[in-house]
Amino acid sequence: MGTLRWGLVGASDIAATRMIPAMRRLGHQIAAVCSADAEHAAAYAGQQQISFSTSEIDALLSRDDVDAVYVSTFNRLHYAHTLSAAAAGKHVLCEKPVALNLTDAWSMVRACDTAGVVFGVNHHLPCAATHREIARLVAAGAVGRPLGVRVFHAVRLPQRLATWRLTDPGAGAGVPLDITVHDAAVVNRLLARPIDAVAIGVRQGPWDAAVDDAIMTVIRYDGDVMVQTHDAFTVGYAGTGLEVHGSEGSIIARDVMTQEPTGSVLLRDATGERELEIPDRRDLYDVSLEEFSRAVHEKIAPAVTGADGVRALAVALAVQEAAGSGHRVPVDEG
């Protein structure tokens, strides 16, 4: 499989802790990094051993040694940065949420299609071996007709990240666009179309938050399948999980809503209960990058397409609106 030469649009924590290590494990090159703050860009480049830094995105996009860009700027900037990259003929792997509204998100998909570049969204959970096995089981009818899904994704926000995610609604702060969107990227692969959502959000953390930091939701999918989620920045010891309950059985997965290649998957049906073997537990970001590179070189879809990212965003936006309004809100995919 071929590798890529990357430009980092955003000198971010997720790039430093997850994506740069994954790129280097796979033999990809990192040619440049861009941040609006030139001093931050230079310091980041020094820390990460990247030879070129800039505060001007055009300077990065004009480089011949950049094949693709990884966009991990503030959520509100994903739209503009993706359109600029597409116009420059660069492939785009964008962090979630893909954008802050559906109009911008679909425009990003169209711009990349028109430019003939690959557009992927860096939702890591669909790249996990556990989630791929769960999707395979559901598609194969292992639980019969799906009836309900439970998602446990209440975690403790690390102190280093307790900044704009809590204080800046204009940047896309809050649990729905940070966590619920990940839930949707998983559940959308298991079920048919999402229909509507109800939600209650609160501010319960030890900080002065301008947005909800904990939320519980019920989302109805086509066929009256009910999805229940608990998403939070405030819970340190619950562990995470995913359950799929159907007419013929249940899948119970624990410690799978995480960035690590961990967790167990148990199948319970009329024959009894058994834990399933999960092979190929590679780093989730390695898988995302491998499949993105394959998409570029073999002209196939990446692990999570731009359209997949938009549909996950649609669920998160409906949940966000439902929590704010107290009403049931349709999931409009645009």
pLDDT score of 192: 94
Taking only the tens place, the pLDDT of each residue in 71-80 is 999 999 999 9
pLDDT score of 306: 98
Same domain, 176 and 52: no
Q: Which domain holds residue 53?
A: 5-123+285-304
CATH code where residue 52 lies: 3.40.50.720
Same domain, 88 and 213: no
d(CA 79, CA 94): 9
Residue 43 CB burial class (10 angstroms; 0-12, 13-18, ≥19) = middle
pLDDT score of 251: 98
pLDDT score of 171: 87
Residue with tokens 């058994």: 274
Tell me the average pLDDT of the chain: 97
Please count the structural domains in the chain: 2
Same domain, 21 and 159: no
Taking only the tens place, the pLDDT of each residue in 105-139 is 999 999 999 999 999 999 999 999 999 999 999 99
Taking only the tens place, the pLDDT of each residue in 3-31 is 999 999 999 999 999 999 999 999 999 99
Same domain, 321 and 177: yes
Query: pTM for the whole thing?
Result: 0.96
pLDDT, average across residues 188-196: 97
pLDDT band with cut points at 50, 70 and 90 for residue 1: low
